Chains A and B, each alone.
Chain A
Amino acid sequence: MSTLELANLTVRLPPGGDRVDAVCGVSFGVERGELVCLVGESGSGKTVIAHAIMGLLPKTLLIASGTVRLEGEELTRVSAARRRRLRGSRMAMIFQEPMTALNPVMTCGAQIDEVLRTHTRMADAERRARAAALMREVALPEPQRMLGAYPHQLSGGQRQRVGIAIALALEPALLIADEPTTALDVTTQAQILRLIVELQRRHGMAVLFVTHDFGVVAEIAHRIAVLREGCLVEVGAKDDVLTRPQHDYTKMLMRAVPTLKPRARAVRADAPVVLATRELSKTYVERGWLRPGREVRAASDVTLEVRKGQTLGIVGESGSGKTTLARCIARLIEPTRGEVRLGGVDLAHLERRELRSLRRRVQVVFQDPYRSLNPRRSVGAAIIEGQLNYGVPRAEALQQARRLMELVRLDPAALGRYPHQFSGGQRQRICIARALALEPALLVADEPVSALDVSVQAQVLALLEEIRTRLELAMVFITHDLRVAAQVCDQLAVMQAGRIVEYGPTAQLFAQPRHPYTQALLAAAPGRNYVFGTK
């Protein structure tokens, strides 16, 4: 008997949605001691399946037909009371965002204790001992101190460990993990993945792991279920699905996963230098009123160089100062010290008026395509805004906008539409068109593909590559994803705590990382030994 068995599960969307069913006729099982990865792009219904199993679906979504069996017990028809008893004791869930999954006003110990008190009749001392044992089990340092700590006092990885401890408290037969490492840095992610795999082996649990990241899948899965628009397109053993996919959709996904092998590209060494920073620093000073002020060095002494037609990648984990650096280069924030030379002029300390004429030379593409376009302005208005600012007549700017829409493979007739009428990938293309409208010398791309699905990501990366070669653009490309960096960057700068710890050609950096931090980052990249797709 499988621990979890889904048969023909169909969940209906409310009328007027994008499609009739959120999930249609999905059947698969998870055995004891098995880790099944449920993968799919955004909107594919993977979270809906996880919530349907746990009985956490919102009222607007109804299970229309099919069965969900947990250790043989049919869950879609059990009473709310019975399901509540099963949640936590026989099945448990860990969530994507560990900060919001924990209650900020309760200590971690109290949150573990709550589960034990609700479901068991343990005595106080027994519960305390169990909580401490759980903290040790998820390898949290100083378990006693951690029990008394509030969620905000812990790091992201530690919070996720607490989340796992809560899920494990009653030794459930089934653990559902909904993108549990998506919000974490790559080195932390590697640790959490190791922990989940280890706990699963030790307890013989069945694990359903929901993710969109094929690197993670390659790292941990036994079997894989691929979802597309609510339908299961392929289920199979890891190696079969990742290296010998049968369905066209899976094949396309596998082709879209960027490899970790740096792509060799020739950049003329004598190309003119477009951007050069020297000892660029940004220090945030937090003024204290009754206590001494605190200084945060977001970026310190960054010296970089980008030539025409070259892409410089800046990689690092969250809080390493990559975005601060990008904003300093585009002068969206004022650098504290140092130089930003753009074609011989130092942008770093120009007066506002002088800066304005130079702004058009540096353009930015942001991470979140949903927030980087004004929802109340048409796409055409967004693209021509820059040119109008610099005195280009409206008709001429619109004509240029139509050409740009063609360049980014969108219909020029769509210029009158509003951002919400486009998908995430299309919006990111619009943002690229907007940045290119001013014919910049340097394009700063701040995580331009991290919010996109892997297939869309591949298209946007191909577009950026095409633009770079066609317009011989210099580009600063900020990313946390080493796979993406390997594909687009000629040079790489690795940042840690505001400093550049290693800087050099991408191929060299991947082949012989010198700095221990670079080595750790490369070692943590999920699925690094795996070759995706058909050979």
Chain B
Amino acid sequence: MVLRNWSVRMGGAALLVLVLVAIAAPLLGTVDPTLFDAASRDLRPGEVGSITTLDGEILSHRFLMGSDSYGRDIYSRVLYGTRISLIVGLACALVALFFGVLLGLVAGYVRWADGLVMRVMDGIMAIPAILIAIAVVALWRASLPSVVIAIVIPEIPRVTRLVRSLVLTIREEPYVEAAVALGTSAPKIMFGHILPNTLAPLLVQGTYICAFAILLEAILSFLGVGLPPDIPTWGNIMAEGRVQFVAYPHNVFFPGVFLAVTVLAVNMLGDGLRDTLDPRLAESRVSTQVLDEHA
């Protein structure tokens, strides 16, 4: 049923291709993305040049997307960069959802904790996401975990708010009251009855976080506060190509296209899931809905 939705299909298919590309990067005619050769600097897309391996061997290589000012292969760097971007997106979405769900459930179900949790969340939301991210990365050494943490912290309040508002409506449902009357304990009600009924909107929220995280990681790398420049991320590639953008636009163009396509695919998947998982928008139930309208 979900797969009948056009944007789920498109977004899902594009994402699937990107995942395959990330996994199969070594098999797609790439070289080690950190290799460089002073003789192959600033090649145009499609030109053939040389590249030196770590053993000192010199290989002839076609630079499909050109090379940068160090003589590194942009094609290899972009493909390997897909791995970083997808890992960052997925990790950020999972970590943000995990903490957001936990805090949101507590805030929504345990009344006395609500004020405390939500005021802290409001406080975090008052600080711009980029600013928090820069501060976190500056505090620790730039690495994958620290970048993920930097992106997740400003996302947690959003998830918390969403989960809390869902919990506030679900906790009033008669089936939750029935569980109370059956002697079910509060943690069991929270995780057994309430949480499963929040999953659909959370899945949608997760895709938005994923898309935003991929974008934010690229922005942080571009600003030079993300992952170290030797790691091939789309943001790093664009940052290095920035100065020569007018003369050699391919340095920025190719990673930019990959970034745009990835974010678009994830967002399309999210929009499609929202439409199909929201029962009010699901077309397949129209017939019975019309008949039951005045039941």
Contact = CB atoms under 8 A, between A and B. Distances in A.
A48 B179 contact: no
B41 interface: no
Interface stretch (A127-135, A358-366, A458-466, A514-522): A358-366
Interface in B183-237: 183-185, 188, 192-193, 196-197
B178 interface: yes
A332 interface: yes
A17 B287 contact: yes
Among A17, A48, A61, the one with the most B-chain Cβ atoms within 10 Å of its Cβ is A17
Interface stretch (A155-163, A282-290, A341-349, A368-376): A368-376
A18 B291 contact: yes
18 contacts: A13-B287, A43-B288, A43-B291, A47-B290, A47-B293, A47-B294, A48-B290, A48-B291, A210-B294, A330-B181, A363-B181, A366-B174, A372-B173, A373-B178, A374-B196, A375-B197, A389-B182, A438-B182
B60 interface: no
B292 interface: yes
B175 interface: yes
Interface string A1-40: 0000000000001101110001000000000000000000
B292 A43 contact: yes
Interface in A387-429: 389-390, 424
A179 interface: yes
A96 interface: yes
B288 A178 contact: no
A499 to B, nearest CB: 25
A438 B184 CA distance: 12
Nearest to A210: B294
Nearest to B180: A332
B247 interface: no
Given A16-B284, A375-B197, A385 B290 contact: no
List the 3 closest pairs (A to B, CB-CB), nearest first: A17-B287, A42-B295, A386-B182
B291 A42 contact: yes
A364 B183 contact: no
Interface residues of B, number: 27
Interface string A310-348: 000000000000000000001010000000000000000
Nearest to A373: B175
Given A374-B179, A385-B182, A435-B181, 13 more contacts: A14-B286, A22-B287, A58-B286, A58-B290, A60-B290, A359-B181, A364-B178, A364-B181, A374-B175, A377-B192, A389-B184, A434-B182, A451-B295
Interface of A: 13-14, 16-18, 22, 42-43, 45-48, 58, 60-61, 96, 178-179, 182, 210, 330, 332, 356, 359-360, 362-364, 366-368, 371-377, 385-386, 389-390, 424, 431, 434-435, 438, 451
Nearest to A211: B294
B181 A362 contact: yes
A437 to B, nearest CB: 8
Contacts of A360: 182-183
Contacts of A356: 183
B26 to A, nearest CB: 42
Given A22-B290, A374-B197, A389 B183 contact: yes
Contacts of A385: 179, 182, 184
B122 interface: no
Given A60-B287, A372-B174, A179 B294 contact: yes
A376 B177 CA distance: 16
Given A359-B182, A389-B182, A178 B177 contact: no
A434 B178 contact: yes
Given A48-B290, A60-B286, A372 B182 contact: no
A344 B201 CA distance: 47
Contact of A96 (B178, B183, B294): B294
B292 A42 contact: yes
Interface in B264-295: 284, 286-288, 290-295
Interface string B227-263: 0000000000000000000000000000000000000
Contacts of A377: 192-193, 196
Nearest to A182: B294
B277 to A, nearest CB: 13
Nearest to A14: B287
A431 B291 contact: no
Contact of B295 (A43, A359, A376, A435): A43
Contact of B193 (A47, A359, A374, A390): A374
B185 to A, nearest CB: 7
Given A360-B183, A386-B182, A18 B287 contact: yes
